[in-house]
Structures are given as structure tokens and as C-alpha cells.
Structure 1
Amino acid sequence: MIQAPVVNIAEICARKGVENVVLSPGSRCAPLTIAFARHPKLTVRTVSDERAAAFIALGMAQTTGKPTVLVCTSGTAALNYAPAVAEAFFLQVPLLVLTADRPPEWIDQLDGQTIRQQQVYGQHIKLSFDFPVALEHPDAVWHTERMVSEALNEAMAFPAGPVHINVPLREPFYPADGEALQFDTQVKVIEEDANVFDLSPMHSLKLQQEMLFFKRVLIVAGQGNHDPKLLQALQTFMGSTGAVAVGDIISNTQKLAGVVRHQDAILACPDPEKMQSLQPDLLITFGKSVISKSLKLYLRQYKPKAHWHIQPAGQVADTFQSLTRIIRCTPASFFRSMAGSTREDAGYIKAWAGIETKAGKFLKDFTTTAPYSELTAISRVLNSLPHQSNLHLANSMAVRYANILALQPEQDVQVYANRGTSGIDGSTSTTVGCALSSQRITTLLTGDMAFFYDRNGLWHNYLPANLRIVIINNHAGGIFRLIDGPRRQPELEEYFETRQQLDARNTAQDFGLSYTACHSLEELEQALPAFFAPVAGAGILEIFTDSKANAVEFAAYKQALLKAL
């Protein structure tokens, strides 16, 4: 017999708007598995590798904006969730993590599949709960119902993130023959109304008066999902104030008219006079992290007079070492309220626009004429992405190359990346979760190390037809050949690059994906249209390059860039 409060975890989740559940098989978690699998309103999938399962759930939640539920058995299964839980915590993605456990009296008694699961995720979880073991008393039932509602409310409260419920379970784990599960449609559910986080008229007036003291206003957009209302408010603010906006590829601001997209190239300029002409009086930031190291170093050196960060709640990092004010509202509310409140500096707009145009033209010309390398290959891939598609950028060099090159303003591509902790460990799985939650073609741009690290993200029965994987295979961790420190060490190839000779052909065959290999720009340009065709189905496009040649061409790019600017 499965106790009603355990069954009703699934009912409360469904009533609270959960749509997707990712299970990993096990016996201790059987009551949870059966409850979720039999609920008529939930989409439930099974992924055997808990690490991959958790990143798939992360991709689903990141794409839908709704919590995904994870369920696993006791023991190290819970620990395998940890990388994705940490990523969700820093990326602010809602997850509800349910870990089955042995009853407390059996912890540390040399019993199987038993670890110390209370607070197992430490400081990388928003809240952690322990489900009651004894569920007979009405107060215990009330406690469980309240707990599940509170966990889901907290997962969605800004900043969103993962919440953990550890569920100790006694045998029997399975319903008796003929026993039917009953979901209590009257189960207690606690709703939470979201705060509006708008600026008050008085607060708006105060900030508008202060902004009149600043002529050169620079906006830096951090990582964020595509938000049409925010883009509209920001576009109006830029048009009425003369503010300049800079956006990494993961900020999803490329469709803004006038947005600076090539800051990595621009801020490589060695001319101090040009750099000073770009220095803001007021820096306004919103969103999460930025990729561009050049932008971070520039703003730490050429500090603004004031730095305002716009964020409804939560901790605020002083990334640029110049933070002077935190404004607790949504970015869209701020930009709507503050339109027309600065003195436009036409020279400042012209300085940024001029060098942005020059950098964009240089990159287009260089990647058109330069020899075959990772940089030129990725430029072809980005330019070929389908309209109205998703792009997930793996960490290491894939996300950096993409940020250098940028998307074009006319491209309707939504960009995702695991930049909460910036690890390579779950990019494939996260992209699979995104593809399962979207009708759009969803492309992963990844390196060989990140791809092979996470092959188990493909080990399940749900690979969607809209999944496309582009692997840049240089048979090594090529980033270490581009960084000044490791590339000068005799240990480079064995201990940093960790060279390998794998390719993805057999992986594609194992999991039923189409496979195409490219060794030149000509082969790549010929392959891309068919690869991205909607009818093509899930596939892998593997682009082979040489890490030594890539380093030479990247150095040539940087040298040519300095001359062009």
C-alpha cells in the first residue's frame, strides 16, 4: 500500500502547474515513481543516469519557466543530481528535487544504498525539507501538503531555483494486487501571488531627477531568456534617452535596434583615447552573468561615476566593482518608468555606434576570407541557424566563439547556456531537455570534450526530432592552447588539452541520430542546409579541426583586429 500523502505529492504538483517529471529508476523511490507515472496530467520520462536526468530537467525548466520535478532512489543517486542542482541554483531555474531515502533509524547502520541525505545539497539549494515518516496523524498529512506547496512556491519565487524534499519511505513500496491509486482532488494547495515589483511613482521621480546628472549612460544586459516586453521597454528607453546598450549573445538582446553585439572585439582596441570615449557616467545593469572578459576588465578599469543594478530580489554581485545602487523592480518596469529622463550625449552614441559598425564589418570580412578554423566554421553555423530556433551554447570555447561572432539582428534565435556555474558537464542533456519542451529546432553548439563528457544525455527513449548537435572536434580541450599560461607549459597536451582521438560517428549510430562529418569550409557549407532542414530529424554534425591550426588562426584574428580598430 502506498500512503495517500505520498501519492498526493503528484496531485499537488499537477495542481500547482507542473507539467514535466523526470524519473530515474530505483526501488526505494517506487511509491513516488508510481504516483507520478499514473497521474493523468503529468508528462513523465525515465532517464537512467541521474546526472543526465537532472540536466534534462534543467533544460525543460529553463525553456518553459515552470518547475520540473526530479525523482530518484536513495544513496549516491541523490549526489548525482548535484551538478545540475548547483547550475539551477546559480542560473535561477526552478526544480523540485525529490529524493527517496531510508527511514532515519537506518542511517549509518551499514545498510545498502544509504547515505546522509538530509541537507545533501548544502548551500546550493533554496530550501531543503524532510518529509515525515509517520503519516497516520492528520497533522502529519497537513504538514506534507503544506510542505509540497511551500517547496513549489519557493522554487518559483524570484530568484527562482531548486528546492529539495527528502522523502524517507518504509516498505511496502508497491501497491497490492488490485489496489488503485486515488489522487485526492480536494488536497490542500497553497497558492502564492507573485509580487509585481514595479517602481512607485515617487521612486521613479526621484531616480529621474538623479539621472539628469548623467549624460553618458551605458546599459549592460546580463544573461536572460528572451523577453519581448523587456525588449520593447528597453528599446523605448534607448530611443528617448540616448543610452547605449551592450548585450552578450546569452542576453537575448540581439534584436534591439542599435545594441552593441561585438564588445569582445571592440574592447580589444589598444587606443586609450578611444577607450575613454566609451566610458559611461552611469552604468545600468540587469540580468545574470556576462561572458565577455574584455567587458568586465574594461568596466573595472574605466569605472562609471555610478552603477545601478536592476533586480527584483535576491543577492546582487558587484561584478564590475563599481556598484552604487540596487533598484528592486523588474528591468521592464524600470525602463518603462525612466524613459526620457537623461540628457542625450550624441557624441557618446556616435562613439559606440562607429566602433560597433567597424568591428562588425571586420568580423564579417575576416570570417569570409580567413582559412578554415573553428572561428570560420562557427561563423558559418551561426549564420545558418534556422529562423525561430533555439541555440544552446556549451561552455569552454563554443560559447566564447559565439559571443565574439554574435547573432545577426534579424535572426529569431533564442539562446541558452549553462552559465550559472559554467561547467562542461551537462550541455548535451540540457539541450535535450530544451528540445523536448519546444517545437523549435534546437541546436547544441559544443566542443568534443563537452560532448563526450555528457553522452549519457542521449541514453534514453525520448530523443526529439528537432534536436541538432554541432560538435567542433579538435581532439582536445583546445581552449588551453589559446590561453597564454597553459600553452607555454610542457604539460600542455597531456595534462591540460588531454588529447583524444574519438569521433561521434558510433555515438550517433548507437542512439539513432543521423551523422555528417566535415573537414573543410566547402564540406560544411554544403552540409548545413540539409542538416538544419525541418524534415531532417535529430542529427549530429561533426566539424573536425586542428587545435594547433586553430591557435594560429585565432592569433591572426586578434592581430588583424588590432590593426582594424
Structure 2
Amino acid sequence: MNEREILTNYVYKVVASLMQNGVQDIVISPGSRSTPLAYAFASTKNLNIYRQVDERSAAFFALGIAKAKGQPVVLLCTSGTAAANYYPAIVEAKYARVPLIVITADRPHELREVGAPQAINQINLYGEHVKWAAEFPIPDEAKQTLPYIERHVARGVSIAKTAPYGPVHFNVPFREPLLIEFSSELPNQTFKSAFVGDISPSKEAIQLLSSVISETEKGFVIIGELALGTDLQHMWSFVRKLQWPILVESLSNMRTNIPEDCQQYIISTYDALLKNQSFKNKVVPDTVIRFGAQPVSKFLSIFLTETMPKNFIVVDEDPMFRDSTAVSTHFIHSSLGHWLNDVQFNNSLESNYLNEWQKAEKIATKHIKEYVQYETDEGAVVRKLLENLPTQSDIFVSSSMPIRDIDTFLTPTEKDIQIFANRGANGIDGVMSTALGFSQGRPNREMYLLIGDLAFLHDVNALIATRYQQCNITVIVLNNDGGGIFSYLSQSSVEQYYEELFGTPTALQFKDVANMYDMEYIQIDSYNELNIFFDKENEKPLRLVEIFTDRQQNVTAHRKLWQQIHAELEQ
């Protein structure tokens, strides 16, 4: 075979192996060294091909698709710093447990570390932030090469979608020439399939959980952001059987679409409640059981470290279980599934303990629902947004204040609204790119992005992707001209350097950005104008709603809400 035939067989083997193992979505950033694989992907039927020329944005775009579908997504780029630009999204994928297949094209071995252009050290480029990394061989005629490729692709996909999910990295070197012969048929596969097993707890673990629950007089459950693909029906069955207070974070998506017989156990306002010392004194737990990640709430974490429950059971699909508060007493290695039905217990919870949580939840919920009647800050905007969103809507939420406002103002509802965010590393980078990718993975639902002005600026290149594939999303920018969250932190008490280092105002508005990308633009200067947005029919599939707010007003209004809740709790 000539060089082109060898290269053609090699890259189509990569494509065939990925498809054989269930991969359907490919995000490509154009570049020269990745040409052979880009051609192979683009010329193959039954693949979803997405393009984004900015590699940093492309990686978050792929992350969004993978979060939406719960399936591995391929990223492809050329060699050099293009591959380095993937790093922030790969870090997020590791800590958020999202499956990515990262393929970086590379220079051949003889062009590494000798001053060749676009050649950096790409071996283990992402270090421990990927679950596995493999260096592929140069395309050649050796009979071992294609079987190696076939099985390493299968290994990589299996590792990416084995709990806990995460990214893997293939580094693929190519020599010139880089052109291939286009093929309409993929090569036959000798490796047929890989089956990934479920992680279930041992009998001893189930017995321990059953015993602890049976002996508990004061206890509650924490449900944080759950693993991709978790069947919530198993969780709801457990909730209705347990009949404990269930502290539910917004990212668990168990505050919405709630079964009627489970509503009485859901506690959504715990962050506000746990700011009150007298209430905390009433609800000190013997036992806490946590499913999923630790929630956003700082005051929940403080409460746990102050009380140090006798039993704190963490259920996690990763043996490196998450315990940032260092209060866990037991760990159960398991995904969430049907085994929860095997937990058998006698419910000995004090009835008054559940009542204390339920009474406080009603008080806090009342004040949160009334908030929009007398406040006009960002919290009121978020509350009104949640009240007016149509059912079957998804909201992607930026880190910093937007996710905290969602967590505060999203009270239990029967409406089908789901909340998503990048809370692996909690950064504000790549938020818009992830939301755009997420919208591609769930095209049958209304998509909204709630984001601050600095996070929007940080990722404005995300909108380049809208020039290459159809996107349908409403971007809501809360523009308070700077970093709003710092107004709630200790830095705000030191006037010197505050605006320069933390407030960081830019005095920028985004109408011209909307015009650049042919977005429908709606400017809202006051809370009273919000009805313009909610009453207006969409003119274009891309919409940018810019809402101008005031940082100090936000702080004052939030603290007033907490004071009102506390005052009634003290009665």
C-alpha cells in the first residue's frame, strides 16, 4: 500500500472504532495536522459533526453536549497550543464527571523538541486531569497497528463512561502528506463491544445503611448534583419510604417535577434557614446521608462541621469519595439505582424533628415567593424568571452569584424545569460555550442561560459556534458592571483597592455583540420592564436579554430577605 492508503485505513479505523463503541458526536476545531481525522469524521455518515474554531470554547461546547446526553463526545484539534486550550474544559470534565474523548493530533516523533513549528510536548499533556491517556503509533503497515488502534479506542471509551465518568486523551501523531482517500464504507471491526458494569454496594453496606437509619431519631438527607444518567425514580422511591427531611440542591433537579406524595419532605431553603442559630440548635442531626456532590451552600457546610453528626454516610460512585467538610464517618461505593429498594429499616425519626424542618421551610418559602412584590434586584429577576419559564425548559447557570440566586429562589414546583451548571471546578470560564453545546444535546427543550457580565465577557467567543450550526438559546445577562459576588465577601469591607481588584467594572454593554451575531436584543433597564421580555414572542432563535442591576442593591435586598426569615423563625 502507498502512504495515502495506509493513512486512510488508519483514520477510518479510529472512526469505526469510536462508532462501534457508541460515540455519535464530534466537535472539530480546524487545523492542519488533524486533517486526516477531520476528513474521516466529516465524510462518515451517521455522525453529528460540530465546528468551533476557538479550541478553548470548542472543548466547553463538547462538554455541554456530553452533559446533555450523558454520553462521550469526541474533541479533535491540531497540534501545539491548540491542544493546550482544551485544558480548562478537561479540568471541568474531570471534576464534574463528564465523559470526553480528547484527540490531539501531533507532530511525528522526529519533529518533537527540535524547534519544529506547532510542536510542544503533548505526551500526558493533561496529567492527572484525565482518567487515561494513550500515545497512538504513527500510521504504518505493521499488522499490529490497526488492532492496537481498535482496542485502545474501545478501552478509552469504556474508561470515559465507567463511573465516575471523565475525560480520556488520545495523542495521535501524523507525518505529511496529510491527505486521505475518502471512503463511503467503514472497515470491519474485529473487536465487537465492551460492556460497562454497574457499581452496587455490598450486602454489608446495605445492612449498615439499614441499621443506621433504624437507629436514627434526628436525621436528614442531602442530595447534591447527581451523576449523569441517574434515574430519579429510584431516589423518589427512597424519599417516600424514608420520610426524612430531604435537603435538595437545585442542581439535583429534585426541586422540580416533584411527585405529589414526596413534596412534604423536600427542603429547598436550607441555606437561608441555616443562617439562623436558634433554628440550627433545634435540628442538630444524629445522622446525615449524602447522595451526589456537596451542595453549593456554604452555610450547610458550616453547619455540618459545627455539629459533626454521629453518622455521616457518603454514597459515591468514586472510591475517592468527595468529603470537603471532613465529617464523613462511612462511605458506600455505589452508583444510585435499584439497590435503594433493598434498604430495609424501621423509621424511628422523631416526628417533631421533621416538623421543625417543615415549619421553617414554609416560613422561608413564603418570604421568597413574596420577594418579587417589594424588591427589584437580581434575586427578584431570578425569582420572576423561574415563575414565568415555560414547562420543559432547561436553565444553564453560571457560577458565582447566578447559581446562588437559583439555589435561593428556586422553590419546589411541579413544573418540568431542569437546572445545570459547571460545578466541577466552579469556574466562570466556558459557561456560554457549555450552554450552547448543552442546547445541541437537548434540542426539544427550551434553553436559557443565566450569566453575569464578567462570565459573559470571559466566553464571548462561544458565539462563534452559532455561525457553524443552528443554535436556539436565550442568553440572560445580569449586568451589574463587575464581580457581584465579592460584595458579599469580606473583601467588600476594605474600601481600598476593592473596585480595582474585585469589583473590576468594565462599563461595557452588549448590544453590539448581539448585532455581530444576529441575535435578537432586549435591553431591560429596570425590574418593571421585565414583562417586556416575558410577553414578547421570539423573533430569532438566538436572543440576548441584558438586564442592568446594581451590586449594592443586590446585597441590601438579599440581606433584608434573610433578616425577615430569621425574624419569623425567632417568633
Where on the TM-score scale, by shorter chain, does this alignment land: which range?
over 0.9
Whether the aligned pair in 2 keeps the contact of 1:94 and 1:155 (CA below 8 Å) is: yes
Deviation at 1:227, TM superposition (A): 6.3
Unmatched tracts of structure 2, length 5 or more: none
Q: Secondary structure at the match of 2:91?
A: helix
1:475 aligns with one of 481, 484, 490:
481
Q: Which amino acid aligns with 1:72?
A: C
Query: What are the within-5 Å matches in structure 2 for residues 307-346 of structure 1?
Result: 307-346=312-351
Deviation at 1:121, TM superposition (A): 0.5
Deviation at 1:290, TM superposition (A): 1.2
- Structure 1 pair 153–504 and aligned structure 2 pair: CA distance change class (3 A): same
1:276 to 2:277 alignment: no
Unmatched tracts of structure 1, length 5 or more: none
CA distance in 1, matches of 2:563, 2:490: 15
Please give the per-residue CA displacement for 1:340-361, whole angstroms capped at 9, x wherever unaligned. 4432321111011110111101
Match of 2:218 in 1: 216
CA distance in 2, matches of 1:157, 1:225: 11
Match of 1:406 in 2: 410
- Structure 1 pair 203–308 and aligned structure 2 pair: CA distance change class (3 A): closer
Match of 1:181 in 2: 183
CA distance in 2, matches of 1:81, 1:140: 27
- Structure 1 pair 229–97 and aligned structure 2 pair: CA distance change class (3 A): closer
1:262 aligns with one of 257, 263, 269:
269
CA distance in 2, matches of 1:75, 1:108: 12
Q: Secondary structure at the match of 1:138?
A: coil
Match of 1:171 in 2: 176
Match of 1:440 in 2: 445
1:44 aligns with one of 45, 49, 63:
49
Deviation at 1:203, TM superposition (A): 4.9
- With 493-502 and 424-433 compared, the bigger mean Cα shift is at 493-502
Deviation at 1:536, TM superposition (A): 5.3
Q: Secondary structure at the match of 1:307?
A: strand
CA distance in 2, matches of 1:339, 1:78: 50
Whether the aligned pair in 2 keeps the contact of 1:241 and 1:343 (CA below 8 Å) is: no
Match of 1:421 in 2: 425
Match of 1:236 in 2: 237
Match of 1:247 in 2: 248
CA distance in 1, matches of 2:198, 2:226: 19
- Structure 1 pair 174–341 and aligned structure 2 pair: CA distance change class (3 A): farther
- Structure 1 pair 297–33 and aligned structure 2 pair: CA distance change class (3 A): same
CA distance in 2, matches of 1:380, 1:47: 34
Q: Secondary structure at the match of 2:246?
A: strand
Deviation at 1:473, TM superposition (A): 0.2
Q: Which amino acid aligns with 2:30?
A: P
1:489 to 2:495 alignment: yes
Deviation at 1:224, TM superposition (A): 2.2
Q: Which amino acid aligns with 2:360?
A: I
CA distance in 2, matches of 1:241, 1:407: 21
CA distance in 2, matches of 1:316, 1:225: 13
1:510 to 2:551 alignment: no
1:98 aligns with one of 93, 103, 109:
103
CA distance in 2, matches of 1:190, 1:222: 37
Whether the aligned pair in 2 keeps the contact of 1:384 and 1:529 (CA below 8 Å) is: no
Whether the aligned pair in 1 keeps the contact of 2:139 and 2:145 (CA below 8 Å) is: yes
1:382 to 2:383 alignment: no
- With 546-555 and 74-83 compared, the bigger mean Cα shift is at 546-555
Deviation at 1:311, TM superposition (A): 2.1
Whether the aligned pair in 2 keeps the contact of 1:225 and 1:415 (CA below 8 Å) is: no
Please give the per-residue CA displacement for 1:365-414, whole angstroms capped at 9, x wherever unaligned. 233222x2111111111212220111101011111111111243212111
1:63 to 2:65 alignment: no
Provide TM-score, normalisation by structure 1. 0.94
1:353 to 2:358 alignment: yes
Match of 1:191 in 2: 193
Please give the per-residue CA displacement for 1:170-227, whole angstroms capped at 9, x wherever unaligned. 011013xxx3336444123353222233345565345423432212231101112686
Deviation at 1:503, TM superposition (A): 1.3
Please give the per-residue CA displacement for 1:246-288, whole angstroms capped at 9, x wherever unaligned. 11111111125221111111111132xx213212211111112
Q: Secondary structure at the match of 1:191?
A: coil
- With 141-150 and 164-173 compared, the bigger mean Cα shift is at 141-150
Q: Secondary structure at the match of 1:480?
A: helix
Match of 2:399 in 1: 395
CA distance in 2, matches of 1:203, 1:309: 11
- With 345-354 and 424-433 compared, the bigger mean Cα shift is at 345-354
- Structure 1 pair 422–299 and aligned structure 2 pair: CA distance change class (3 A): same
2:33 aligns with one of 25, 28, 33:
28
CA distance in 2, matches of 1:221, 1:429: 27
CA distance in 1, matches of 2:131, 2:528: 50
Please give the per-residue CA displacement for 1:422-460, whole angstroms capped at 9, x wherever unaligned. 100111000000111112111100000001110111113
Whether the aligned pair in 1 keeps the contact of 2:368 and 2:409 (CA below 8 Å) is: yes
CA distance in 2, matches of 1:216, 1:79: 50
Q: Secondary structure at the match of 1:319?
A: coil
Q: Which amino acid aligns with 1:429?
A: S
CA distance in 1, matches of 2:307, 2:535: 44
* Sequence identity percentage: 30
Deviation at 1:487, TM superposition (A): 4.2
Match of 2:555 in 1: 551
Whether the aligned pair in 2 keeps the contact of 1:71 and 1:98 (CA below 8 Å) is: yes
Q: Which amino acid aligns with 1:545?
A: T
CA distance in 2, matches of 1:301, 1:525: 44
2:434 aligns with one of 430, 433, 439:
430
Query: What are the within-5 Å matches in structure 2 for residues 79-228 of structure 1?
Result: 79-175=84-180, 179-181=181-183, 183-189=185-191, 191-199=193-201, 203-224=205-226
- With 414-423 and 192-201 compared, the bigger mean Cα shift is at 192-201
Provide TM-score, normalisation by structure 2. 0.93
Q: Which amino acid aligns with 2:122?
A: Q
